[in-house]
Structure 1
């Protein structure tokens, strides 16, 4: 199978086997290696906007909204990393893409690990940014899910995520990079956020991550309070063919240190 779909520079949609509509965008020169970008929880694919000018110089970039997030469908019930990974495989099949590099940040990193473990033939090189092979405790996620099921507004979640994602100085100084992410959280369907919390709650790849055969770049955040630096170090110790870089950032390393992030990713994928 060859990459047969030309660049599509606007939002497109396809429907998964279980009936969920997934929003995606394919941008860049046809014939370049494909790079798939996978998002953090409670964001949409525009979280990668700052990367696009650099990445599309070298890659055909496929980015999408994870089920339950952004403009993709948000079915009721618990989601799983397994089903989220299958969404990616079905999207690649829909576009006629046999193999691609994969860059996942946070929740996207869980998806990337699962794909590399269970469908290694579909992944070329792997980048795992600000992610983990396990996040607990389960009680924390159950509490968040319960509050969403009981009608909690997204405002409180927006405050929580913003303070988890960015340094205090960026928030207090009104940095223009922060506001779009608050809007992304506010636009996340509550059912989708609850389902996504369940996927993270139930995802435990600590043992199976050792099966990842791919060349893997791991990017961590020195000040990340969600996916701690120790989580990145554990991934690097588990995945045999991996390298680790810890940046002086909080959680959204692609935003807070975009130039260095872009450089690391491009150099790794082109090496």
Structure 2
């Protein structure tokens, strides 16, 4: 199981082309780094890795406290997680990548772009926002934290699913097995790790006012059924970042890579081709 010791934590990652450093520079694939959303892990991007790995070196990692990474006592604020992502790139000796971040991963990705734009070819922000947590939602998430504390993840997992997924996915009987698979992924979360990660997300500062500082090709994607970060949140980022692209994924909630992988892969492919053309 590949892990790296980063900022006091054992961070798990998956690399589709771990030996490509041995190849001549002109034969090396560009890197796609995937940062998952709250309570998930590398598995969130399985369909994207499968699609892109013929042409890209795909690296997905688990944030501390989640997936297969170590549960640490601290380091769950968005800036610390951004430092973890930066340290991962440096440890793998990756000079530049396309950074993909969903929800929490998107909050982190924006901070990486503000701290170390030299490490990025482009930024792909999925189902995320740039402001501090809405006070009403924050109160709801704090209730969820108390429920996790007293009841455990398993007892509340079915109530979390409608936050993570849109109505189309949840009501599609042909995807019942997928629903069960993702429910089980939720239940696998470490209780302490989940609570610390959730607290880090809901206590984050906003960075919307700083987004105009980012001078990179940026794709912003949102599902039309996304409840936690709806279209309005994506639009605010789009207006704040000059030259950014905004795409809406039909019949998708807060987990577009899972709910509508083909749509998302097509949108990402179009964007990446454009970025690669402009950089050549």
Please give the TM-score of this superposition, normalised by the length of structure 1: 0.90
Q: Give the secondary-structure state (helix, strand or coil) at the position aligned to 1:235.
A: helix
Q: Give the secondary-structure state (helix, strand or coil) at the position aligned to 2:50.
A: helix
Q: Give the secondary-structure state (helix, strand or coil) at the position aligned to 2:13.
A: strand
Name stretches of at least 5 consecutive residues in structure 1 with no aligned partner: 1-10
Task: Choose from 207, 213, 236 the match for 2:215.
Answer: 213
Task: Choose from 3, 7, 12 the match for 1:13.
Answer: 3
Q: Give the secondary-structure state (helix, strand or coil) at the position aligned to 1:261.
A: helix
Q: Distance in 1 between matches of 2:201 and 2:158?
A: 20
Aligned position for 1:235: 237
Q: Is this contact kept in 1: 2:79–2:111, CA < 8 A?
A: yes
Two-structure CA RMSD over aligned residues (Å): 1.7
Where do 4+ consecutive residues of structure 1 move more than 6 Å? none
Change (3 A) 1:267 1:155: same
1:154-165 → structure 2 map (5 Å cutoff): 154-165=153-164
Q: Is this contact kept in 2: 1:102–1:125, CA < 8 A?
A: yes
Name stretches of at least 5 consecutive residues in structure 2 with no aligned partner: 21-27, 275-280
CA displacement 1:55-94 (0-9 Å, x = unmatched):
1021101100111110111123572011111111111111
User: Which has the larger share of helix?
Assistant: 2
Q: Distance in 2 between matches of 1:77 and 1:186?
A: 22
Instruction: Quote how far apart the aligned CAs of 1:27 are.
Output: 0.4
Q: Does 1:98 align with 2:95?
A: yes
Aligned position for 1:6: none
1:238-253 → structure 2 map (5 Å cutoff): 238-248=240-250, 249-253=252-256
Aligned position for 1:261: 264
Range with bigger deviation, 138-147 or 113-122: 138-147
Q: Does 1:190 align with 2:188?
A: no
Q: Does 1:26 align with 2:29?
A: no
CA displacement 1:146-187 (0-9 Å, x = unmatched):
333x43211244213311222345334261322222122111
Q: Is this contact kept in 1: 2:13–2:62, CA < 8 A?
A: yes
Instruction: Quote how far apart the aligned CAs of 1:215 are.
Output: 0.6
Q: Distance in 1 between matches of 2:174 and 2:150?
A: 29
Q: Distance in 1 between matches of 2:33 and 2:156?
A: 27
Q: Distance in 2 between matches of 1:185 and 1:91?
A: 25
Q: Distance in 1 between matches of 2:234 and 2:241?
A: 11
Aligned position for 1:121: 118
Q: Is this contact kept in 1: 2:11–2:69, CA < 8 A?
A: yes
Aligned position for 1:136: 134
Say how many residue pairs are matched: 259
Q: Distance in 2 between matches of 1:78 and 1:12?
A: 21
Q: Is this contact kept in 2: 1:36–1:100, CA < 8 A?
A: yes
Change (3 A) 1:246 1:168: closer
Instruction: Quote how far apart the aligned CAs of 1:53 are.
Output: 2.0
Q: Is this contact kept in 1: 2:167–2:253, CA < 8 A?
A: no
Change (3 A) 1:254 1:240: same
Q: Give the secondary-structure state (helix, strand or coil) at the position aligned to 1:178.
A: helix
